[in-house]
Chains A and B, each alone.
Chain A
Amino acid sequence: MTEPVLSVRDLRVEFDSRRGTLRAIDGVSFEIARGEVLGVVGESGAGKSVTGAAVIGLIDPPGRIAGGEIKLSGRRIDDLPPEELRRIRGKRIGVIFQDPLTSLNPLYRIGDQLTETIRTHLPLSPSAARQRAIDLLAEVGIPAPEKRIDAYPHEFSGGMRQRVVIALAICAEPELIIADEPTTALDVSVQAQIIALIKRLGRDHGTAVMLVTHDMGVIAETCDRVAVMYSGRIAEIGPVRDVVQEPLHPYAKGLMGAIPTLAGDAPRLAQIPGAMPRLSAIPPGCAFHPRCDYAFGRCRIERPEPLQHGTQQVACHLFDAHSTEHAA
């Protein structure tokens, strides 16, 4: 039971381009336990989606997993043949993408998309699969599911469509759900409902959830742990309370400064000046050093490795025992 549902060790993902190999993910490690929600935050291009795609084996050429290992409930899956990986996708790992408007095939009734997925993964008769589809639609909160099952995607609102997408993701009772910005494309008014639904489903079924989002409020409310990504690496990872209230990594501090705090103390680093480097121009040493207020000599030369610091893991020289003299 102590085996994490998902365990990623030293993952590296590379894209071959005309101008050489670009490393989009560079040594990412994390775990998600049963029933746990891991939030993943970071600026656009940090590698959140690529990490999710790597876990489900959907890195398309010219990209490839260049190193590391991915384990699902203790069994390695990153080296499986494509056909076996396909059988895991949708069955043991459910995926929710950002835009429900484009995630569903416009020419298929949602019932057909559901039963097709169900029957791909479970040995059910067409009528049993249809019944399961109706139950799933009811579970994700679609009213009158036995009628709506025969509707086409365009007949649903954005929020309802995302519920259908969620029903598709959970239709074979997956151990892990990867939700990549599931509410970014939705109306603000329905965002909270969708997040609550994902959280409830995760809790009810003991599913591990990897929740990628830009919304620090969602992280604070929904997640058990949070990983802050920067330039293809995890800058800091730890329990949500600690990372949000007492971020250690200078980049995480900058991000958290963007959340309005109850105490009302004005965040000093509300935004971080500058932009994340492109993959082709990642600086040596710590990728964050050109933007970091605390950067010192070593940061420009040596790359900081993630080290345990209290409940958190931080990749920053400030928290390395060898450079205590610089600690903040």
Chain B
Amino acid sequence: MLAFTLRRVLQAIGVMIVVGALSFTMFRFAGDPISQIVSQDASSAERAEIRKSLGLDDPVLVQFGRYFINAARFDFGMSYRFREPVAKLLLERMPATLELATCATVLAMTLGILLGVYTALRRNSFLATLLSAVSLIGISLPTFLIGILLIYLFAVVLGWLPSYGRGDTVRLGWWTTGLLTTSGLKSLIMPSITLGLFQMTLIMRLVRAEMLEVLRTDYIRFARARGLTTRAIHFGHALKNTLVPVITVAGLQFGSVIAFAIITETVFQWPGMGLLFVQAVQNVDIPIMAAYLLVVSLIFVTINLIVDILYTLVDPRLHAGAARRT
């Protein structure tokens, strides 16, 4: 188990080095950083001076090493546009994105599992058929369209919910949260639905398929032959076996939820990392783009790592398998 964990951690570090190289390439070679910093009419002597002071004359490998060491200390350089450390900007925006992504995931998991179990157990009922059909639409509608439709209905027509922003936030140390104010919670509703809808339909369909699969297995048949109650079979044996792969997928999806948040954050002007990234693209603010890539990848890789380790903990067969393999 320990060896398995160690190996996975090493793999994760390997992935991060590759992403770091990508991010560095983008940082260093996408456009000339000097021309972003100095004014149009600066002399070439001035440019050379700045180039030297920024270490841009050093060999590429030295630069990469320096970039990497800095990045490991969450020093991503200065934003061209905001003239502030990129790390500070990202850190300010991170709580908004993480709260949104978490809310969306919790929503998607809860509803997805409930509806998935329902449609599997009552698969011939009218409602289950309807839900399955609607879920197909949910999976194929683009996120921004859903967001705009929601805004139109609940913000413009009904006026129940704010159409953009995060509402009032409360400071907890460096973290700002919208979860403690009414306006913050209200603002969270539509973006969470927009962001979580795709995952929800995905999870619902996955749960349904897995559950139907599990219900056909021999051990469920044997559980019935043992006279266990329908409830114990469906919500004990069948659900537990269904949830192992589902939780894995849902956990792995959390990374893409954060990545997809770019669109949702743009539609709702949600002040998170995604919006910062989109603005950085518009302004060709390369350090922010490079840092965003690194931070989101780090979240991705960390989640994969945690899910993998949890998975082996939940499934005793893998547990033993991992132990035996070492």
Chain A interfacial positions (CB closer than 8 Å to B): 56, 58, 86-91, 95, 97, 99, 102-108, 116-117, 120-121, 152, 154-155, 165, 168-169
Contacts and interface: CB of A to CB of B under 8 A. Distances in A.
Given A106-B317, A107-B315, A154-B316, A97 B228 contact: no
A97 B316 contact: no
Interface in B24-64: none
Interface string B216-243: 0111011111111110100011001100
Given A107-B240, A154-B316, A155-B320, A89 B221 contact: no
Given A91-B227, A117-B228, A103 B237 contact: no
Given A95-B222, A165-B222, A90 B320 contact: no
Interface string B264-276: 0000000000000
The 4 nearest A-B residue pairs measured at CB: A90-B227, A89-B227, A102-B218, A95-B225
A105 B218 CA distance: 9
A58 B241 contact: no
A88 B225 CA distance: 10
A90 B316 contact: no
B69 interface: no
A103 B232 contact: no
Contacts of B218: 97, 99, 102-103
Contact of A107 (B221, B226, B241): B241
Instruction: Identify the interface centre among B225, B229, B315: most chain A CB within 10 Å of its CB.
Output: B225
A72 B274 CA distance: 68
B224 A58 contact: yes
Nearest to B317: A154
Given A107-B315, A154-B317, A120 B221 contact: no
Contacts of A106: 219, 241, 315-317
B26 to A, nearest CB: 44
Interface of B: 217-219, 221-230, 232, 236-237, 240-241, 244, 314-317, 320
A58 B226 contact: no
14 contacts: A86-B230, A87-B227, A89-B226, A90-B226, A97-B218, A103-B218, A103-B219, A105-B223, A105-B240, A105-B241, A106-B316, A107-B315, A117-B226, A120-B229
A19 B241 CA distance: 35
Contacts of A56: 225
Contacts of B221: 58, 97
A154 B229 CA distance: 25
Q: By CB atoms of chain B within 10 A, which of A90, A91, A107, A165 has the most?
A: A107
Contacts of A97: 218, 221-222, 225
B132 to A, nearest CB: 20
Contacts of A169: 226
Contacts of B226: 89-90, 95, 117, 120, 168-169
B225 A90 contact: yes
Contacts of A91: 227
Contacts of B240: 105, 107-108
Nearest to A104: B219
